[in-house]
Amino acid sequence: MDIHFYMLCFRSEALVASQLEPEAFAHYMATGTRKLTRGSLMFFELDRGKLNPIGRRATDSFRLHDIETRCASHADGSPKRSKYISIYRVLEHLNIEAILRLHLVTSDGRVLSIEPKPAEDGPEAKEYLYQELAPVSPLICSSLSPTNFCRFVTDPDVPLYVPTLFFADLLLDREPTGEIAGYLPYENPAHLADCLDQVRTSRKRATKTVSRTPNLQAFFRTINRGFYLGNKDQIIGFPFPERRTLEIEHTRWWYSAQSG
Protein backbone atom coordinates (compact mmCIF):
# COMPACT_ATOMS: atom_id res chain seq x y z
CA MET A 1 0.00 0.00 0.00
CA ASP A 2 1.12 3.55 -0.68
CA ILE A 3 2.20 5.70 2.26
CA HIS A 4 0.71 9.17 2.52
CA PHE A 5 2.07 12.03 4.59
CA TYR A 6 -0.09 14.45 6.54
CA MET A 7 0.59 17.30 8.93
CA LEU A 8 -1.97 17.91 11.67
CA CYS A 9 -2.28 21.68 12.17
CA PHE A 10 -5.22 22.30 14.51
CA ARG A 11 -4.62 22.71 18.28
CA SER A 12 -1.28 20.92 17.86
CA GLU A 13 1.18 20.06 15.10
CA ALA A 14 2.35 16.62 14.06
CA LEU A 15 3.75 14.89 11.00
CA VAL A 16 1.95 11.60 10.39
CA ALA A 17 2.42 8.77 7.89
CA SER A 18 -0.61 6.69 6.92
CA GLN A 19 -1.72 4.10 4.40
CA LEU A 20 -5.16 5.72 4.34
CA GLU A 21 -6.26 8.05 1.55
CA PRO A 22 -7.01 11.64 2.70
CA GLU A 23 -10.77 11.23 3.20
CA ALA A 24 -10.38 7.91 5.02
CA PHE A 25 -7.66 9.41 7.21
CA ALA A 26 -9.90 12.40 7.97
CA HIS A 27 -12.80 10.17 9.03
CA TYR A 28 -10.50 8.01 11.15
CA MET A 29 -9.02 11.01 12.98
CA ALA A 30 -12.32 12.86 13.46
CA THR A 31 -14.75 10.17 14.54
CA GLY A 32 -12.67 8.45 17.15
CA THR A 33 -10.39 5.53 17.83
CA ARG A 34 -9.63 3.32 20.78
CA LYS A 35 -7.50 6.22 22.03
CA LEU A 36 -10.78 8.12 22.46
CA THR A 37 -9.63 11.05 20.32
CA ARG A 38 -12.31 12.72 18.25
CA GLY A 39 -13.48 16.11 17.01
CA SER A 40 -12.97 18.54 14.16
CA LEU A 41 -9.47 18.90 12.77
CA MET A 42 -7.34 20.27 9.96
CA PHE A 43 -4.39 18.73 8.20
CA PHE A 44 -2.12 19.34 5.24
CA GLU A 45 -1.68 16.67 2.59
CA LEU A 46 2.03 16.56 1.70
CA ASP A 47 4.29 15.61 -1.18
CA ARG A 48 6.85 13.22 0.27
CA GLY A 49 9.50 14.22 -2.26
CA LYS A 50 9.39 17.84 -1.06
CA LEU A 51 9.05 17.37 2.69
CA ASN A 52 12.46 18.75 3.57
CA PRO A 53 13.76 22.13 2.42
CA ILE A 54 15.89 22.04 -0.73
CA GLY A 55 19.48 21.11 0.01
CA ARG A 56 18.71 19.22 3.22
CA ARG A 57 18.80 15.45 3.64
CA ALA A 58 15.66 13.65 4.76
CA THR A 59 17.34 12.85 8.06
CA ASP A 60 17.99 16.52 8.78
CA SER A 61 14.40 17.29 9.77
CA PHE A 62 12.27 14.15 9.74
CA ARG A 63 13.17 10.49 10.12
CA LEU A 64 11.89 8.99 6.88
CA HIS A 65 14.55 6.48 5.83
CA ASP A 66 12.80 3.56 7.55
CA ILE A 67 9.19 4.70 7.24
CA GLU A 68 8.24 1.75 5.00
CA THR A 69 9.08 -0.53 7.91
CA ARG A 70 7.43 1.59 10.59
CA CYS A 71 4.29 2.25 8.54
CA ALA A 72 3.71 -1.27 7.22
CA SER A 73 0.35 -2.99 6.86
CA HIS A 74 -0.90 -5.11 9.75
CA ALA A 75 -0.50 -8.89 9.71
CA ASP A 76 -4.10 -9.33 8.57
CA GLY A 77 -3.49 -7.03 5.59
CA SER A 78 -5.38 -4.04 6.97
CA PRO A 79 -3.75 -0.63 6.43
CA LYS A 80 -1.62 1.15 9.00
CA ARG A 81 -3.84 4.09 9.84
CA SER A 82 -1.31 6.39 11.49
CA LYS A 83 2.35 6.45 12.41
CA TYR A 84 3.57 9.63 14.05
CA ILE A 85 6.91 10.83 12.70
CA SER A 86 7.32 14.11 14.58
CA ILE A 87 5.30 16.09 17.14
CA TYR A 88 7.67 19.00 17.78
CA ARG A 89 8.62 22.00 15.63
CA VAL A 90 7.11 20.35 12.56
CA LEU A 91 5.87 23.46 10.77
CA GLU A 92 9.18 25.23 11.32
CA HIS A 93 11.03 22.50 9.42
CA LEU A 94 8.40 21.82 6.77
CA ASN A 95 9.08 22.87 3.20
CA ILE A 96 6.05 24.97 2.22
CA GLU A 97 6.37 23.68 -1.35
CA ALA A 98 5.45 20.20 -0.06
CA ILE A 99 1.87 21.21 0.74
CA LEU A 100 -0.61 19.81 -1.79
CA ARG A 101 -3.85 20.89 -0.11
CA LEU A 102 -5.49 21.73 3.21
CA HIS A 103 -8.28 19.47 4.48
CA LEU A 104 -10.90 20.87 6.88
CA VAL A 105 -12.66 18.08 8.76
CA THR A 106 -15.85 18.33 10.81
CA SER A 107 -16.45 16.31 13.95
CA ASP A 108 -18.46 13.73 11.98
CA GLY A 109 -15.67 13.26 9.43
CA ARG A 110 -16.88 15.37 6.50
CA VAL A 111 -14.08 16.96 4.47
CA LEU A 112 -13.63 20.24 2.61
CA SER A 113 -10.35 20.42 0.68
CA ILE A 114 -8.63 23.66 -0.38
CA GLU A 115 -5.61 23.93 -2.65
CA PRO A 116 -2.92 26.57 -1.95
CA LYS A 117 -2.70 29.76 -3.99
CA PRO A 118 -0.54 32.89 -3.85
CA ALA A 119 -1.62 34.82 -0.76
CA GLU A 120 -3.97 37.77 -1.28
CA ASP A 121 -5.20 40.26 1.31
CA GLY A 122 -8.56 41.09 -0.23
CA PRO A 123 -10.41 44.32 0.65
CA GLU A 124 -8.52 46.56 3.07
CA ALA A 125 -9.93 46.94 6.58
CA LYS A 126 -9.08 48.97 9.67
CA GLU A 127 -9.16 45.97 11.97
CA TYR A 128 -8.60 42.24 11.61
CA LEU A 129 -9.07 39.16 13.77
CA TYR A 130 -6.72 36.20 13.41
CA GLN A 131 -6.80 32.74 14.94
CA GLU A 132 -3.26 31.42 15.06
CA LEU A 133 -3.28 27.65 14.59
CA ALA A 134 0.30 26.38 14.50
CA PRO A 135 2.78 26.33 16.10
CA VAL A 136 0.98 28.60 18.61
CA SER A 137 -2.77 29.14 19.00
CA PRO A 138 -3.82 32.46 20.60
CA LEU A 139 -6.58 34.68 19.21
CA ILE A 140 -5.06 37.95 17.95
CA CYS A 141 -6.52 41.23 16.75
CA SER A 142 -4.47 43.48 14.51
CA SER A 143 -4.41 46.53 12.28
CA LEU A 144 -2.23 44.61 9.81
CA SER A 145 -3.57 42.85 6.71
CA PRO A 146 -3.08 39.05 6.59
CA THR A 147 0.16 39.09 4.58
CA ASN A 148 1.63 41.98 6.57
CA PHE A 149 0.62 40.25 9.80
CA CYS A 150 2.38 37.08 8.69
CA ARG A 151 5.55 38.98 7.79
CA PHE A 152 5.46 40.80 11.13
CA VAL A 153 4.99 37.69 13.28
CA THR A 154 7.71 35.73 11.43
CA ASP A 155 10.27 38.56 11.44
CA PRO A 156 13.35 37.48 13.46
CA ASP A 157 13.96 41.12 14.40
CA VAL A 158 10.67 41.24 16.33
CA PRO A 159 11.14 40.33 20.04
CA LEU A 160 8.40 37.66 19.89
CA TYR A 161 8.31 35.74 16.62
CA VAL A 162 7.84 32.28 15.16
CA PRO A 163 9.79 31.01 12.11
CA THR A 164 6.61 29.93 10.31
CA LEU A 165 2.95 30.61 11.09
CA PHE A 166 -0.35 29.04 10.04
CA PHE A 167 -3.42 31.12 10.86
CA ALA A 168 -6.98 31.94 9.85
CA ASP A 169 -8.56 35.28 9.04
CA LEU A 170 -11.85 35.48 10.97
CA LEU A 171 -15.12 37.30 10.39
CA LEU A 172 -15.56 40.71 11.99
CA ASP A 173 -18.70 42.83 12.05
CA ARG A 174 -19.91 45.64 14.28
CA GLU A 175 -23.29 46.97 15.27
CA PRO A 176 -23.91 50.72 14.70
CA THR A 177 -23.18 51.15 18.42
CA GLY A 178 -19.68 49.71 17.96
CA GLU A 179 -20.45 46.40 19.65
CA ILE A 180 -19.48 43.11 18.04
CA ALA A 181 -22.36 41.83 15.88
CA GLY A 182 -24.57 39.44 17.78
CA TYR A 183 -24.48 36.67 15.18
CA LEU A 184 -20.75 36.15 15.69
CA PRO A 185 -20.08 33.40 18.26
CA TYR A 186 -17.07 34.96 19.97
CA GLU A 187 -16.69 34.74 23.73
CA ASN A 188 -16.64 38.00 25.71
CA PRO A 189 -17.49 40.31 22.79
CA ALA A 190 -17.02 43.44 24.91
CA HIS A 191 -13.41 42.47 25.57
CA LEU A 192 -12.88 41.73 21.87
CA ALA A 193 -14.28 45.14 20.89
CA ASP A 194 -11.99 46.84 23.41
CA CYS A 195 -8.93 45.02 22.03
CA LEU A 196 -9.86 45.96 18.47
CA ASP A 197 -10.31 49.60 19.47
CA GLN A 198 -6.85 49.63 21.03
CA VAL A 199 -5.02 48.43 17.92
CA ARG A 200 -7.18 50.51 15.58
CA THR A 201 -6.39 53.77 17.37
CA SER A 202 -2.79 53.07 18.39
CA ARG A 203 0.13 54.35 16.32
CA LYS A 204 2.61 52.07 18.04
CA ARG A 205 0.76 48.80 18.60
CA ALA A 206 -0.14 46.65 15.59
CA THR A 207 -1.29 43.50 17.40
CA LYS A 208 -2.94 42.50 20.67
CA THR A 209 -3.75 39.13 22.19
CA VAL A 210 -7.48 38.67 22.73
CA SER A 211 -7.24 35.20 24.28
CA ARG A 212 -4.42 32.77 24.94
CA THR A 213 -6.84 29.82 25.08
CA PRO A 214 -9.73 30.59 22.70
CA ASN A 215 -12.78 28.37 22.37
CA LEU A 216 -12.66 26.79 18.90
CA GLN A 217 -16.19 25.37 18.97
CA ALA A 218 -17.87 25.84 15.56
CA PHE A 219 -14.62 27.44 14.41
CA PHE A 220 -15.13 26.82 10.69
CA ARG A 221 -18.21 29.07 10.47
CA THR A 222 -16.15 32.07 11.62
CA ILE A 223 -13.66 31.90 8.72
CA ASN A 224 -13.53 35.04 6.59
CA ARG A 225 -11.00 35.21 3.73
CA GLY A 226 -9.43 31.88 4.55
CA PHE A 227 -6.15 30.52 5.85
CA TYR A 228 -2.58 31.72 5.48
CA LEU A 229 0.75 29.98 5.90
CA GLY A 230 4.08 31.69 5.65
CA ASN A 231 7.47 32.79 6.86
CA LYS A 232 9.66 35.80 6.21
CA ASP A 233 10.33 34.64 2.64
CA GLN A 234 7.10 33.06 1.41
CA ILE A 235 3.35 33.25 2.09
CA ILE A 236 0.60 31.11 0.59
CA GLY A 237 -3.16 31.27 1.05
CA PHE A 238 -6.06 28.83 1.19
CA PRO A 239 -9.13 30.85 0.11
CA PHE A 240 -12.31 29.88 1.95
CA PRO A 241 -15.35 29.38 -0.33
CA GLU A 242 -18.07 32.02 -0.32
CA ARG A 243 -21.20 31.33 1.71
CA ARG A 244 -23.36 30.58 -1.34
CA THR A 245 -20.78 28.12 -2.68
CA LEU A 246 -20.71 26.36 0.69
CA GLU A 247 -24.49 26.11 0.79
CA ILE A 248 -24.84 24.76 -2.76
CA GLU A 249 -21.68 22.75 -3.47
CA HIS A 250 -20.65 21.66 0.03
CA THR A 251 -24.03 21.46 1.73
CA ARG A 252 -23.40 18.55 4.10
CA TRP A 253 -19.97 19.78 5.13
CA TRP A 254 -21.28 23.30 5.80
CA TYR A 255 -24.24 22.03 7.81
CA SER A 256 -21.92 19.92 9.94
CA ALA A 257 -19.36 22.73 10.30
CA GLN A 258 -21.94 25.12 11.74
CA SER A 259 -22.77 22.73 14.56
CA GLY A 260 -19.15 22.37 15.63
pLDDT bucket at 260, cuts 50 / 70 / 90: low
Is the pLDDT at 155 greater than 70? The verdict is yes
Whether residue 79 contacts residue 19, with contact meaning beta carbons closer than 8 Å, is answered with: yes
Find the angle CA(242)-CA(46)-CA(229) to the nearest 5 degrees.
Answer: 50
Q: Which residues of 230-250 are buried (b: 16+ CB within 10 A; e: fewer)?
A: bbbeebbbbebbeeeebeeeb
Burial call 156-171: b when 16+ CB within 10 Å, e when fewer: eeeeeebebbbbbbbe
- Beta carbons of 220 and 226 less than 8 angstroms apart: no
212 exposure class (CB count in 10 Å sphere: 0-12, 13-18, 19+): exposed
Tell me the whole-structure pTM to 2 decimals.
Answer: 0.93
pLDDT at 42: 96
CA distances from 101 to 6, 71, 219 (A): 10, 22, 19
- Work out the angle at residue 25's Cα, subtended by the Cα atoms of residues 21 and 26, and round it to the nearest 5 degrees: 120
pLDDT in tens, 185-222: 999 999 999 999 999 998 888 999 999 988 887 789 99
Beta bridge partners, 236, equal: 118, 229
Q: How far apart are CA 203 and CA 218, in angstroms?
A: 34
Interval 160-193: pLDDT, tens? 999 999 999 999 999 999 899 999 999 999 999 9
Single-letter code of the amino acid located at 29: M
